Structure 1
Amino acid sequence: MINEQIRDREVRLIGPDGEQLGIMSAKEAMFKAQEAGLDLVKIAPTAKPPVCKIIDYGKYRYELARKEKEAKKKQKTIEVKEVRLSPNIDTNDLNTKVNAARKFLSKGNKVKVTLRFRGREMAHMQSSKHVLDDFAELLKDIAVVEKAPKVEGRSMTMFLTEKR
């Protein structure tokens, strides 16, 4: 709320330089803002009495938008990246997958490691669990197992997150 939109009887006024000017009527505060050639902006409407500040409203809106943009930039969404393996994966192929997972983890993402079974491989699910264990072992320097290997239909999954 700015200028004439402020309908409160009295407000706590803060000057353009951030100094406390005390509690006064809204009309008096409005007059002081006009004298300074600036706007009266209500910055804390829930306070008793509400806090108003004498500032340039356009500049104030710009600052708020800029702060919001900065906060949005700093906020990182954690994505879940998936690495798919097969039960009879070769050592070099496993190392390639480990390097991909390492890259994902270094960017702050979680990694879902999926061991997919096809056909006859379904009969040897538990004996293939070592592939996921080896994968986790190769990444133990930068990652920790968030969810242990668990069978879901035709696959076994495990989640890894970056060590804190």
Structure 2
Amino acid sequence: MPVDTALAKARESDLDLVEVAPNDRPPVCRIMDYGKFKYQQNKKSHQTAHHPKTKEIRLRPKTGDHDIEFKVKQAVGFLEHKDKVQVSVIFRGRELAHIDEGRKVMDQVITKLLEVGKLESPPQQQQKRMIAMVVPKQA
């Protein structure tokens, strides 16, 4: 179709005549709403990029085995979604006298998470919290 005819059709339907492939012989043009096209391209580019977030799972030294399993399952989901996971064991009151119990819980969680992630920072005691960071494995 000649360029003049295509341009007339585009104007009569309130659309734009856009050159899609300028390097081809003959050049390829398309009648479309250019603003809508640019908006959709911009929207697609934002969807593909994932910005990792830091998710936290909180535990206590006396947390039950089933509850730990549930928290680990959540953390595995976060790691599979390419988010970092901060594992926190929080001590209250007299629990600070039994940090070894919190260390056992922390080690139990970390060993289960190492199947899908890797340890970024080992467990560290910060006042009433023991914190470790697990990041997803590079695939």
TM-score (norm 1): 0.60
Cα distance in 1 for residues equivalent to 2:96 and 2:35: 61
Correspondence for 1:161? 135
> Which of 67, 71, 78 in structure 1 is aligned with 2:52?
78
Cα distance in 2 for residues equivalent to 1:79 and 1:87: 26
Q: Which has the higher contact order (CA 8 A, sep 6+)?
A: 2
Measured against aligned partners, the alpha-carbon deviations of 1:110-149 in whole angstroms (never above 9, x if no partner) come to 1111100011111222453121111011122112111211
Cα RMSD, aligned residues only: 2.5
Measured against aligned partners, the alpha-carbon deviations of 1:78-99 in whole angstroms (never above 9, x if no partner) come to 2222111111222222112111
- In structure 2, the gaps of 5 or more residues are 1-18
Q: Does 1:88 align with 2:62?
A: yes
Cα distance in 2 for residues equivalent to 1:78 and 1:140: 18
Correspondence for 2:6? none
- The letter for the 2-side match of 1:93 is D
Q: Does 1:69 align with 2:43?
A: yes
> Which of 133, 138, 144 in structure 1 is aligned with 2:118?
144
Give 1:115-130 correspondences, 5 Å limit.
115-126=89-100, 128-130=102-104
Q: Percent sequence identity over matched residues?
A: 26
Correspondence for 2:84? 110
State the aligned residue count: 115
SS across alignment from 1:76 = coil
